[in-house]
Structure 1
Amino acid sequence: MHIPWSLVARFGEASFLVPLAAFVALRLTFQGLWRQAFYWIFTLCAGAAVIVAGKLAFEFGGWSIPAANLYSISGHAMLTASVYPMLLTVLGSIWSERTARIGMKAGISVAMLAATALIAGHYHTVAETLIGTGVGFVVAWANLRPSCRHMPVVPAPTLNRFMLGMVLVVMVPVSIYPVRVRLWSQGLDWIGVTERYSRKIGIDPVSGRTVVTIIQGRLRS
């Protein structure tokens, strides 16, 4: 059976997960957990900064570790590993502590599936995916470790229905609209970048090993 890895990988799009991360902060805020909501946003931004720094180092400076097939760290892996465990834990806490724990495990499973899709679909190398996933899990752990996990079950039927409904309504249109690509392009124009490194991942048909081709080109003015 052919697995649509490209479809699975889309669940790690920033334009899809950033609104869901905002839903997490909103839910925590309505529970009165202002400090935890701020900490969630802060740690997520810190994790994203690590990924962006790595991407900038490669794409505009050519930094890489060819021996480890490490070039562009996966932002998809980082976001799935941080947002889904947190999102499903918070949504699970709507009903009980048990469903919150189930949600956390489900979120971890989704992150691992997304990581598999990134590697199997040749979007990222193993090293790029593992580092991105690792950073994401650190963010999730920082928010879900026992000393920080204070998510009491708060009865709020109207809010709960609104939250779940908005997750379903926002999923499709936001995932299609390429917010990240547009912002990235405008940022390049703003700082005056004219050259960019990229890489293409393939498999050697003889040895079966991963082959990475580096491409250097000028950006259109």
Structure 2
Amino acid sequence: MMLTNLADSAVLAPAALAIAIWLAASRAWRLATLWCALFGVGVVMVAATKIAFIGWGLGVRSLNFTGISGHTMLATAVYPTILWLVLQRYRPAVRNTGAALGLLFGVIVGLSRLVLHAHSPSEVVAGCLWGAVVSIGFIALSQLRSLPALHPLMFVCSLLLIGAVLYGTRAPSQRLIIRTALALSGHHEPYIRVTWRMRGTGRNQPAHAAPVCRDGLSGT
């Protein structure tokens, strides 16, 4: 739970916003725009896969895939980017090592989701890959431009403040996704993993299944 809480959207969404604000404050407008675009695409893709499953039951039964792991995507997108920016004054090998450690931490977060039975392996792998696309894409494109004059200490302090204030908070993202999926699909009940998998195997299933939603630990 400690690792999972470090990757909750209640913590990492504000951290991602802080990255954009610091880049903009450093007059790195293009980098700030680039980060917002890449991060936004990453979040939209996670939400889209979850909405598709919850609203219409779209997934891959053979892989037990019902949507990209949001915690894992956020961790592998945000933490490598933070470390790379904090270490920008060091030589490239050091910066790249920091980014690699950030990716490794994202993978560890993904393992925590498996331990908590919040996601299947395929969903965690998808989260790792999609988050890596965001962070590595930003890092690669950033090297084509001059680096911003960020103040590493103040940047880190602002992120630590965000973590200290919001750690342990559960964002209502899953409830919002469920409501959006039901509104778009016109269905009264969301698809859930258990009955969805039973339908794929041809086994009998109850006529009505109440939705299962635990913020931060949803099986979707």
**Which category of TM-score, normalised to the shorter sequence, fits these structures?**
0.7 to 0.9
Q: CA separation in 2, counterparts of 1:187 and 1:64?
A: 19
The 5-angstrom pairing of residues 83-122 of structure 1 reads: 83-93=78-88, 95-98=89-92, 99-122=94-117
Task: Give the counterpart of 2:53 among 40, 46, 58.
Answer: 58
Q: CA separation in 2, counterparts of 1:91 and 1:83?
A: 12
The 5-angstrom pairing of residues 41-190 of structure 1 reads: 41-93=36-88, 95-98=89-92, 99-145=94-140, 147-149=141-143, 150=145, 152=147, 154=149, 159-181=151-173, 184=176, 187-188=179-180
Q: CA contact under 8 A between 1:197 and 1:217: conserved in structure 2? A: no
Q: 1:17 matched to which residue of 2?
A: 12
1:217 aligned to 2:210?
A: yes
Structure 1 or 2: more strand by fraction: 1
Q: Which runs of 5+ in 2 are unaligned?
A: 195-204, 213-220
1:33 aligned to 2:36?
A: no
Structure 1 residue 68: Cα displacement: 1.0
Identical counterparts, % of pairs:
20
Q: CA contact under 8 A between 2:8 and 2:171: conserved in structure 1? A: no
Query: CA 1:125 to 1:190, structure 2 compared with 1: closer, same or farther past 3 Å?
Result: closer
Q: CA separation in 2, counterparts of 1:183 and 1:151?
A: 41
TM-score using structure 2 length: 0.77
Query: CA 1:41 to 1:183, structure 2 compared with 1: closer, same or farther past 3 Å?
Result: farther
Q: Alignment RMSD, CA only?
A: 2.9
Q: Which runs of 5+ in 1 are unaligned?
A: 1-5, 201-212
Q: Which has the higher contact order (CA 8 A, sep 6+)?
A: 2
Q: CA contact under 8 A between 2:7 and 2:109: conserved in structure 1? A: yes
